[in-house]
């Protein structure tokens, strides 16, 4: 009779320990050793081999014909665990009858793959994370191999579904002090103290038939039977602790509980960009047979708790504050878009500096312990001008955006050549799959990716290190990017079936090795999904029908919600939109209980500084307001909200380790009101502008021959021509226009008011049309027709006007530098028409955040020390402009308003926003 070793180990059923016993089956054994059946390759150590013990070989006819299969006694699961080691068989005495070794037999030392000492190896509920329960520091750890030595688990280990009470020894593998098993039984302890004594160790590890030391009391066979009887009742005991199966509703984990079970506590402290050692695999969807699909990161089970922050909408000085608050809330991932129109304002001229330093933002997130999901477009929507596409694309009259039209594809290729070369080193697993080839040139290089050679711009990519083999690796440990999105919500557009596969190929060829995903709402999911790319879904609330549709598109894949909308954006002239924090909490709770990865859009919205805002057009063109507060988890200025505290409590309840402490709030202040003392009418400014463009017919903003042939992207355009008679004026303007005779305002034009009456005149006068771009549509097919300014002929009584002087008013930093030399006038009591108003905002020696309150002003833009704070308007709903303290100087600050219609009295500040 052969007796197999017993082992305490975690069964695949979460949270349950099971004892592995032996079952005999008659199988021929030529070696004479009993070897457990593998039952597959799951968790089999690479160095696990059977140990042959020298003995007298019996005749072939009398060799034992038996072997043992591993079984889980508690749940009768065959073959789920790895082979530990076969036990030697005692040699037969002279009488021909072999004596059974004392139960249990002497356990030989095993060379474990994770900790080279004896003890218990248990598998955590975190997939692939094995723990070695050891002994006090410096000790070898007692060998616990019998039921009597089973740990009494009563305390939760931060990285294990069950914990232990004894603090005498640390967990060897994860070095988390204070979480260990209780001391083993007295007999085992006595035996293991000899492990530190070489002489005693030699006695303890002899063959089974050798005489045992005096301090080791022999165990009776009767005692073994009582132990076996206890084992037989384990199924009845453990069945009460087994988790209840979930009902099948067509999606993984659809039967969500109000709160996640206590046994499902998360601990990803070892899964951060600074802690993860194994970077051979990034974020990957796994579909294990018979179990729920899940994501793994570096081989460990992982669930994305993501929040969106757009670096280009937040002052760079506040990036760290917003990311720390994201981490303190309990999130593990930050998601961000990459705006093409801001990074390449002119063809071939790229800007990744200052507030647009995408690489610095990604690396800062890594330092904060956050992973990154990058959404590089080229189209991003994001309520930004033209959905993030550069306006110079519209110079081509045949251009078809978001298709495989040759002009568009050529521009995307050049943009991706530059952008993706910056992204490649920031991937989590890049150094294990890609290598950078040495190239002649100081601080430069080439990325050899998928057969393509992509130039690396000088100076980017962090500190370079030259390897002995000549490969250049800027980031030896890899970066924090775990997934890259292919375009954005293409299912709602879906005009070219070849477009998405083209983008997928473009990313792969340039070196993207991380998980690729698409993002669509449920209605357009089928049209936006492409083969070989994980489909994710956008939603407003937890909808099982949407998840069923996603499962139909891709079966047996983990679910990720790329955008869970916790609020919404506002447009001028509409009401401020809010969402109930309780609804947000309930939805996120269901995501967690259903093991669904998610991304909160937005965690922190920020501000549409300058002219970057987009627009909607559902019959009426409405620009997106300057504030991108979005009713998000953090306010526009980075303050906490009720949603933040609800989510933090929720994440804290499912976290095995304490959340980071709350960062301090950014201080706010209210400063003395400012009364502008000087003003400059627009007509006096024209002499400080660049030379006007002279054209026989009007030219739209994008096709103006300025900025190196790239046209004008944002701001205002002034058209002047001479007329000698009045009548019915007609013009196609985008988006709004003020019409003047000399300096007198005679009316307004817009999409739904294209005509006005010009009064009769006795002599020729100067007709002036000032057109404002209020933001290009960022969504729908209408992005194809977003050329701004005058887009057709201008007629009076159906007679086309000719001979235009066209002035570009982009209002850049250089423009305001030129205005310093202008002759400013004192502000009159009554002032009409477009003009610039200058004042001084006085603050203390430590500037703080504040909000401009422009109660008596009409519509225009505000500039502080040259920074464009964005548009203000009496239309509402927004009533204040966010002014970051990081943009203020101690003491005096120059503030300029460009008011289009009528001046106000004071410029006030407040420490509370009005949205």
Name the DSSP letter for residue 98.
P
Confirm if 615 and 777 have CB atoms less than 8 A apart: yes
Residues paired with residue 67 on neighbouring β-strands, in sequence order:
25
Q: Is the dihedral of CA 259, 263, 269, 275 positive or negative?
A: negative
Provide the b/e sequence for 326-355 (b: ≥16 CB within 10 Å).
bbbbbbbbbbbbbbbbbbbbebeebebeeb
Would you say how long the chain is, in residues?
915
Is there a catalytic annotation at residue 346? no
Q: Read off the tokens for 690.
A: 């660049």
Spatial CB neighbours of 850, under 8 Å, sequence gap ≥ 6? 668, 669, 670, 671, 883, 885, 909, 910, 911
List phi, psi (to 5°) of 449: -130, 115
Place of tokens 């987009």: 614
Q: For 510-558, where are the alpha helices, taking DSSP H only?
A: 525-528, 544-553
Enclosing H/E stretch for 517 = strand 515-521
List phi, psi (to 5°) of 316: -55, -35
Tally of CB atoms within 10 A around 458: 11
Q: Which of 563, 585, 595, 702 is catalytic?
A: 563
Using DSSP bridges, classify how beta strands 371-375 and 305-309 pair: parallel, antiparallel or unpaired.
Answer: unpaired
Q: Which of 489, 514, 636, 810 is catalytic?
A: 489
Q: Read off the tokens for 5.
A: 């070793």
Residues paired with residue 375 on neighbouring β-strands, in sequence order:
337
Angstrom distance (rounded) from CA 455 to CA 588: 43
Confirm if 534 and 518 have CB atoms less than 8 A apart: yes
Is there a catalytic annotation at residue 817? no
Angstrom distance (rounded) from CA 101 to CA 911: 82
Classify 820 as helix, strand or coil: coil
Alpha-carbon distances of 493 from 394, 540, 663, rounded to whole Å: 18, 20, 41
| Closest residue by Cα to residue 627 from 568, 562, 583, 581 | 568
Helices (H) and strands (E) in the chain, counts: 16, 43
Cis peptide upstream of residue 52 (ω within 30 degrees of 0): no
Angstrom distance (rounded) from CA 221 to CA 520: 67
| Closest residue by Cα to residue 634 from 429, 230, 886, 329 | 329
Q: At what angle do helices 319-329 and 642-653 cross, to 10 degrees?
A: 50
Q: Just list the catalytic residues.
A: 489, 563
């Amino acid at each position: 009779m052969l007796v197999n070793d017993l082992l305490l180990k975690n069964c695949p059923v979460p949270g349950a320990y099971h004892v592995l016993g032996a079952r005999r089956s008659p199988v021929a054994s030529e070696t004479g050793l009993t070897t457990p059946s593998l039952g597959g390759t799951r968790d089999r150590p690479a160095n696990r081999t059977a140990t042959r013990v020298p003995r007298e070989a019996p005749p072939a006819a009398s060799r034992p014909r038996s072997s043992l299969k591993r079984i889980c006694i508690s749940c009768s699961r065959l073959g789920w665990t790895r082979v530990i080691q076969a036990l030697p068989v005692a040699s037969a005495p002279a009488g021909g009858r072999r004596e059974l070794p004392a139960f249990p037999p002497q356990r030989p030392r095993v060379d474990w793959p994770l900790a080279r000492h004896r003890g218990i190896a248990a598998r955590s509920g975190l997939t692939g994370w094995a723990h070695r329960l050891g002994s006090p520091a410096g000790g070898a750890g007692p060998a616990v191999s019998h039921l009597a030595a089973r740990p009494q688990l009563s305390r939760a280990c931060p990285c294990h579904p069950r914990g232990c009470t004894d603090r005498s020894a640390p967990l060897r593998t994860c070095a988390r002090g204070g979480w260990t098993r209780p001391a083993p039984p007295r007999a085992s302890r006595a035996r293991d103290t000899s492990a530190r004594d070489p002489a005693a160790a030699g006695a303890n590890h002899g063959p089974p038939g050798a005489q045992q030391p005096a301090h080791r009391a022999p165990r009776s066979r009767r005692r073994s039977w009582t132990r076996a009887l206890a084992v037989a009742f384990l199924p009845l005991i453990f069945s009460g602790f087994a988790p209840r199966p979930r009902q099948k509703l067509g999606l993984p984990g659809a039967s969500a509980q109000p709160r996640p079970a206590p046994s499902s506590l998360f601990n990803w402290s070892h899964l951060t960009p600074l802690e993860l050692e194994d970077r051979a695999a990034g974020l990957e969807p796994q579909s294990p047979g018979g179990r729920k699909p899940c994501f793994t990161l570096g081989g460990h089970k992982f669930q994305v708790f993501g929040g969106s922050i757009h670096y280009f909408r937040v002052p760079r000085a506040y990036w760290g504050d917003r990311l720390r608050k994201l981490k303190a809330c309990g999130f593990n991932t930050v998601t961000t878009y990459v705006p093409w129109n801001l990074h390449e304002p002119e063809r071939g001229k790229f800007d990744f500096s200052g507030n647009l330093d995408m690489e610095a933002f990604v690396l800062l997130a890594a330092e904060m312990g956050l992973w990154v999901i990058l959404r590089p477009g080229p189209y991003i929507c994001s309520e930004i001008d033209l959905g993030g596409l550069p306006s110079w694309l519209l110079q081509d009259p045949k251009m078809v955006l978001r298709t495989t039209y040759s002009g568009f594809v050529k521009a995307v290729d050049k943009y991706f050549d530059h952008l993706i070369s910056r992204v490649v080193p920031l991937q989590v697993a890049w150094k294990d799959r890609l290598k950078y080839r040495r190239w002649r040139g100081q601080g430069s290089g080439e990325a050899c990716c998928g057969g393509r050679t992509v130039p690396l711009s000088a100076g980017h990519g962090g500190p370079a290190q030259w390897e002995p083999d000549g490969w250049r690796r800027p980031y030896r440990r890899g970066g924090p990017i775990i997934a890259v999105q292919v375009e954005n919500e293409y299912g709602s557009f879906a005009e070219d079936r070849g477009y998405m596969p083209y983008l997928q190929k473009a990313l792969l060829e340039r070196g993207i090795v991380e998980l690729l995903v698409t993002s669509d709402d449920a209605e357009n999911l089928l049209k936006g999904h492409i083969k070989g790319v994980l489909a994710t879904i956008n939603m407003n609330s937890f909808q099982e029908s949407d998840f069923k549709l996603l499962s139909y598109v891709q079966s047996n894949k983990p679910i990720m919600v790329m955008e869970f909308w916790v609020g919404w954006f506002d447009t001028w002239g509409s009401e401020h939109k809010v969402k109930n924090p309780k609804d947000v909490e309930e939805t996120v709770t269901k995501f967690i209980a259903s093991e669904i990865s998610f991304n909160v859009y937005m965690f922190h919205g920020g501000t549409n500084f300058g002219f970057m805002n987009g627009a909607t057009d559902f019959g009426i063109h409405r620009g997106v307001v300057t504030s991108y507060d979005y009713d998000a988890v953090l306010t526009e200025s980075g303050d906490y909200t009720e949603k933040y505290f609800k989510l933090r409590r929720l994440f804290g309840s499912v976290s095995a380790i304490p959340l980071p402490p709350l960062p301090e709030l950014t201080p706010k202040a209210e400063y003395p009101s400012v009364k502008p003392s000087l003003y400059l009418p627009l007509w006096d400014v024209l002499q400080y502008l660049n030379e006007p463009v002279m054209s026989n017919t009007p030219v739209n903003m994008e096709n103006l021959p300025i900025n190196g042939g790239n046209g004008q992207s944002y701001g205002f355009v002034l058209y002047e021509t001479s007329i000698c008679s009045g009548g019915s004026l007609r013009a196609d303007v985008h988006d709004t226009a003020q019409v003047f005779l000399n300096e007198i305002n005679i009316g307004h034009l817009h999409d739904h008011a294209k005509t006005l009456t010009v009064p009769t005149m006795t002599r020729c006068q100067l007709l002036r049309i000032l057109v404002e771009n209020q933001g290009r549509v960022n969504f729908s097919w209408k992005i194809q027709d977003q050329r701004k300014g005058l887009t057709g002929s201008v007629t009076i009584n159906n007679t086309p006007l000719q001979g235009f002087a066209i002035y570009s008013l982009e209002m850049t930093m250089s423009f305001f530098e030129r205005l310093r030399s202008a002759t400013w006038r004192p502000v009159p009591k009554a002032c009409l028409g477009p003009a610039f108003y200058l004042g001084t905002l006085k603050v203390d020696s430590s500037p703080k955040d504040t909000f401009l309150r422009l109660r008596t002003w009409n519509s225009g833009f505000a500039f502080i020390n040259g920074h464009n704070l964005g548009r203000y308007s009496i239309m509402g709903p927004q009533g204040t402009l966010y002014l970051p303290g990081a943009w203020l100087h101690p003491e005096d600050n120059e503030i300029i308003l460009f008011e289009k219609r009528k001046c106000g009295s004071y410029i006030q500040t407040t420490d509370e926003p009005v949205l």
